Amino acid sequence: LMNYTILVAGITASLLGMLLMLSIRFFGHWYKSFFVTIFASILVYMTSKLAVHMSAGNPDMYYLTKATQYISLIAVSLPSLMLAFLIINTNSKTHVKGNCFTRLAIVLWNIYVLLLSITQFVPVFYYFTSDNQLVITKYYYLMLLPLLIIMIIDIGGVIKRWKVLSRRHKIAFSVYCLAPLAASLLRVLYPNIYSIA
């Protein structure tokens, strides 16, 4: 029940967020596209997790569960990567394509996707049993290490640009950086409860 509540609330919030961003006219095109993409990735994550939750345990839905689990883990990795670009573009006169922070974040994200793709064929980090039950191996959190480093890079980017950020941006970025870390900690402590991590 708790998982269903979290997932339905997440789907509702992400849909409302997308509609709000699309209706706002005073946002620049770059920022509007950024936040629409963020809410879209959260929507894909929550929807995929809901599909995993509903199909797990049914052997006839083995491939659906496996596919939606993969999609959800791709979607959940995008906000932290995109945050690296938002940090360097905030309060900038022109939208920059990237710097050393963003390039490193992209490399780490690609490593994560590679590890995630490998485990679809070799059960290193997680796998599904013949009766369609998810089993997380002891190496699972090694797969998430690149994402953790990206979160640390995001925090470093905020610290580096702290003096040029407005008070509003400082608060927003602090919450945006710390919330995924808190969610990741909850995911480790309570692995059977879904979170944004």
What pLDDT, on a 0 to 100 scale, did the predictor assign at position 195?
45
117-140 residue pLDDT tens: 999 999 999 999 999 999 999 999
In angstroms, the CA 78 to CA 58 distance is 29
0.75 cut: is pTM over it? yes
Q: Which amino acid is at 77?
A: S
Does the pLDDT of residue 116 top 90, yes or no? yes
Q: Mean pLDDT throughout 36-54?
A: 89
* CA–CA gap between residue 154 and residue 61 (Å, rounded): 38
| Bridge partners, 134 (sequence order) | 128
Pick 177 or 111 by higher pLDDT: 111
DSSP character at residue 164:
G
